[in-house]
């Protein structure tokens, strides 16, 4: 009886399989575009009938024209030079979000940190000799409360105040590319700019996207690809901030690129990297930097008060070992290596 039933169902199964294959064959292909932007590499994978690389490059150029201090004609450069400047939607969005994150983190995140970042040799100007008197002097014109947006203009309390959006611009660039893809009807994509990522839908195997978190070993050339863990995520923004790639040694002491805007010195916490998941990559990028400045205990407390954020921290441990902490909601995303 069961054999007859199986034989009766077999033609329908064959039709179903053939139909599924034909449907899949009609699906648009997955494409990958790569290049350089903001001093780093981008890799964008998406499913679409057309190659959208020109649209992607246009979106990235708009961000560069707004937020890059290395672009002599950008909006942020003109602001830093105290030139009369009309702001656009890109700069305005990033500035407002940066001010919001600064207030929430009590200044741990602050895009007015540029004079200090430059002084320590991690910015868009040459470094200078550092001592406590220099730091005290520079701190007089650093602080998110010392600038505001009024009638479409940035108003500074001190003309020496300068902005550096490197801690948030890559995340915004990722989000702008994601919006460009969505306007083109793309449902499945991964946008990766220097490790800041937005993932949507499914990958080419029609499964949830997987993205790795690198082990925070000293890697100034960015060639290490050894993974600490893998996350399975989609429809979310992800950013990682760490002190294992941008650093230098002077007089036997290591100086990393994350500067505490409130103290004026590179942070000396035991956090080696902070990975944040948020509703968009701009938000994740800003908080990843803030957590590096805050230190583990304050970052953990902040995450408890803000359940909309998930975080994964890699900290220095005994010898060459790492200590790991992650928020409860992050556990469901972690894939064992």
Surface-to-core class of residue 262, CB atoms within 10 Å of its CB (0-12 exposed, 13-18 middle, 19+ buried) = middle
If phi > 0 it is left, if psi is from -120 to 50 it is alpha, else beta; for residue 194 that is: left
Reported as a single tens digit per residue, the pLDDT across 105-157 is 999 999 999 999 888 888 776 667 788 999 999 999 999 999 999 999 999 99
C-alpha span between 62 and 268 (Å, rounded): 35
Supply the DSSP symbol for 84. -
pLDDT at 218: 63
Q: Distance of CA 202 to CAs 154, 183, 189, Å?
A: 41, 18, 7
pLDDT at 13: 57
The structural domains of the chain, ordered by start, are: 32-156 (3.10.520.10), 196-335 (3.10.520.10)
- In angstroms, the first-to-last Cα distance of the chain is 47
C-alpha span between 77 and 72 (Å, rounded): 6
Angle in degrees, CA 61, 67, 72, rounded to 5: 80
> Residues of the chain with pLDDT > 70: what percent?
84
List the helix and strand counts (H, then E) for the chain: 9, 15
pLDDT at 270: 84
Reported as a single tens digit per residue, the pLDDT across 254-307 is 556 789 999 998 888 888 999 999 999 999 999 999 999 999 999 999 999 999
- Residue with the larger pLDDT of the pair 1 and 172: 172
Q: Do residues 261 and 143 lie in contact, with contact meaning Cβ atoms separated by under 8 Å?
A: yes
Reported as a single tens digit per residue, the pLDDT across 198-243 is 999 999 999 999 999 998 876 544 556 789 999 999 999 999 998 7
The pTM (predicted TM-score) of the whole model is 0.88
Q: Do residues 198 and 223 lie in contact, with contact meaning Cβ atoms separated by under 8 Å?
A: no
pLDDT at 221: 47
Q: Do residues 120 and 255 lie in contact, with contact meaning Cβ atoms separated by under 8 Å?
A: yes
How would residue 96 be classed by pLDDT, with cut points 50, 70 and 90?
very high
Question: How long a stretch of residues is the chain?
Answer: 337
Radius of gyration of the chain (CA): 23
Residue in 19, 47, 16, 21 with CA at minimum distance from that of residue 32: 47
Q: Distance of CA 78 to CAs 75, 86, 151, 329, Å?
A: 5, 10, 17, 42
Complete DSSP assignment for 5-50: HHHHHHHHHHHHHHHHHHHHHTSPPEEEEEEEETTEEEEEEEE-SS
pLDDT at 256: 61
C-alpha span between 116 and 127 (Å, rounded): 9
pLDDT at 95: 98
């Amino acid at each position: 009886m069961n054999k007859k039933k199986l034989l009766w169902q077999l033609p329908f199964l064959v039709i179903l399989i053939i139909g599924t294959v034909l449907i899949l064959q009609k699906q648009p292909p997955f494409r990958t575009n790569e290049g350089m932007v903001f001093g780093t590499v981008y890799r964008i994978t998406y499913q679409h009938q057309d190659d959208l690389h020109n649209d992607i490059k246009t979106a990235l150029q708009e961000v560069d024209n707004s937020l890059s201090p290395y672009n002599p004609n950008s909006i942020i450069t003109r602001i830093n030079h105290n030139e009369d400047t009309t702001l656009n939607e890109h700069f305005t969005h990033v500035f407002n979000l940066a001010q919001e994150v600064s207030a929430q983190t009590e200044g741990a995140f602050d895009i007015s940190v540029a004079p200090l970042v430059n002084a320590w040799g991690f910015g868009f100007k040459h470094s200078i000799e550092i001592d406590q008197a220099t730091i005290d002097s520079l701190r007089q014109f650093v602080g998110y409360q010392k600038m505001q947006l009024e009638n479409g203009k940035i108003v500074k309390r001190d003309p020496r105040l300068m902005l550096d959006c490197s801690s948030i611009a890559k995340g915004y660039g990722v989000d702008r590319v994601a919006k460009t893809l969505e306007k083109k009807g793309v449902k499945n994509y991964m946008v990766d700019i220097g490790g800041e990522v937005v993932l949507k839908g499914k990958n080419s195997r029609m499964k949830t996207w997987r993205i790795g978190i690198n082990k925070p070993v000293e890697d100034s050339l960015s060639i290490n690809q050894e993974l600490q863990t893998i996350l399975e995520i989609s429809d979310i923004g992800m950013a990682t901030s760490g002190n294992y790639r941008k650093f230098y040694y002077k007089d036997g002491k290591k100086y990393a690129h994350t500067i505490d805007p409130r103290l004026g010195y590179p942070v000396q916490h035991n956090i080696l990297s902070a990975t944040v998941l948020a509703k968009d990559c701009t938000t994740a990028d800003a908080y990843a930097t803030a957590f590096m400045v805050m230190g583990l205990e304050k970052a953990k407390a902040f995450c408890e008060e803000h359940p909309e954020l998930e975080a994964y921290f890699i900290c220095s441990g005994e010898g060459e070992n790492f200590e790991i902490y992650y928020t409860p909601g992050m556990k469901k995303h972690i894939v064992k290596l």
